[in-house]
Amino acid sequence: MIETIQTQASPLGTPRTRAVHRAVADARRGVPVVLAAKHPLIIAPAETVGAEGLRLIDLLSEGTPKLLLARSRAEAVMPQGVAPESAAVVALKLARPLIDAETLKRAADPTLEQILPEFELSSAPEEAEAALTLAKLARLLPAMVVARVKPGWAQRREGADLLTVPAHDLGAYPLNLAASLTRVAEVPVPLDAARDARLVAFRALDQGIEHMAIVVGEPERLEAPLVRIHSECFTGDLLGSLRCDCGPQLQGAIARMGREGAGVVLYLAQEGRGIGLINKLRAYTMQDRGLDTLDANKALGWQADERNFHIAAQMLRGLGIARIRLLTNNPAKLSSLAACGIEIVERVAHEFAPNGVNDSYLETKAKRFGHWLG
C-alpha cells in the first residue's frame, strides 16, 4: 500500500535528475558516488564495489565507515540479533582499511556462503534510506558501504570524477519517473484470445525501461473497463514456470477481455514485485532453502512488495481511463491505485487452481499477503 503523494513532480530532463540517472549507472558499475546532504557521504553498493572503489572510499572519507543493510537482512548477519527498536536501516561498523569486496558481497547476498566477520552495530546516518534507495533503483541488493567524506575531497585528484547527487532527489525519483511516462508507440497485435488487441508502449523521459499496455477493443469508450495490472514474469510468462501462477493469470486476463470485447492489461516492467529478475532468482534460491516468498524477499533486504503503482496510474491516464473494474485478488492493488487517483468501481476476482508445484506459493499469498480466494 502507498500513500497519496502531493509532491509536484519535476522534469526528468533537469541536471539534478540526470544526476540520478548517472548515479544508478555508477552504482551498477561499483563506482562510488557522493550523497549530498548536511553531512555528505561517499557510498557504493556492497554487491558491485571492487578494490578500487573501496580504495577511493578509504582515501576520501573520515570517521568510521559503515555497511548499511535493511533491518531484515541485518538480523540474519548479526549473531546477537538486532534490537527491537532498531530502525528500518541498520548500520554495521567496518574497520579500516576496508574489508575485501568479496566479504561485502557475502554480507549483502544470503545466497552465497556466509563466511563473515563479527560485525558491531553502529548508528545509521540520516541519509541511510536514500543510500539504500540508490541500490534499489539500480536493481541491486539493498546493501551499501558508506562513510562521511573529508572536507575538500572534491579538490583531490582521486575524487575529481566522482558524481554528487542530492539525497532528496533519490527519494523523489520514482514519482518523477512515473509522472514523465508518455506513449511512444502503438501497433495492432492480434492474439489468439483477443484478435483486436493492440500494444501501446510507454517510456519515461530517462529513456529507460518500457512498460506495455495490452489493449483489447476500445476500453476508453466504456464507463469503467476491465483492467488487470500484471508485473512481468520472465519465468512464468515466457517459460511457463510452475513455481507461480503468473502465466495463467496473464493469459486468463487477456482471454476474459477478449470475451467481454474490451479491457486493458498493464504489463509493467517490475519483475518480482519490483525487485528485478536477478533478485527474484535469488529469492527462489532462498525459497528452496525453506523460506516462503515473503520471507525470501525480506532475507535479501527487500520489502514484501516494491512496486511503483504510480506507473500504472499514469499509464491509465495516458489511455484516457480514470474509472476501472480491477481484475485482481490483491487488496493492496486496490488501495495503491486509489491513492494514485484511479477510481475503482468494482473488484473482479481472478483466481486459478494450484498446479501441484505452486500450492504453497498460493497459500502464502492468501495467508501473508492477504489475497482473496476468489
Residues with catalytic roles: 305, 307
Output the 3-class SS for 58-77. Answer: HHHEEEEEEEEEEHHHHHHH
Q: Is 370 left (phi over 0), alpha (psi -120 to 50) or beta?
A: left
The DSSP letter of residue 334 is H
* CA gap 45, 99 in Å, rounded: 14
Q: Which helix (H) or strand (E) holds 295?
A: helix 293-299
Angle at alpha carbon of residue 40, lines to 170 and 168, rounded to 5°:
20
CA geometry: angle at 302 spanning 275 and 39, to 5°? 110
Count Cβ atoms within 10 A of the Cβ of residue 206 and give its class: 0-12 exposed, 13-18 middle, 19 or more buried. middle
> Where in the chain does DSSP place strands (E)?
33-36, 41-45, 61-70, 89-93, 121-122, 143-149, 164-166, 182-188, 197-203, 210-216, 226-231, 263-268, 323-327, 343-348
Q: What contacts 321, CB < 8 A, 6 or more positions away?
A: 219, 220, 225, 227, 264
Bridge partners of residue 85, in order along the sequence: none
Identify whether the C-beta of residue 244 lies closer than 8 Å to the C-beta of residue 238.
no
Cβ proximity of 65 and 78 under 8 Å: no
DSSP, res 235: I
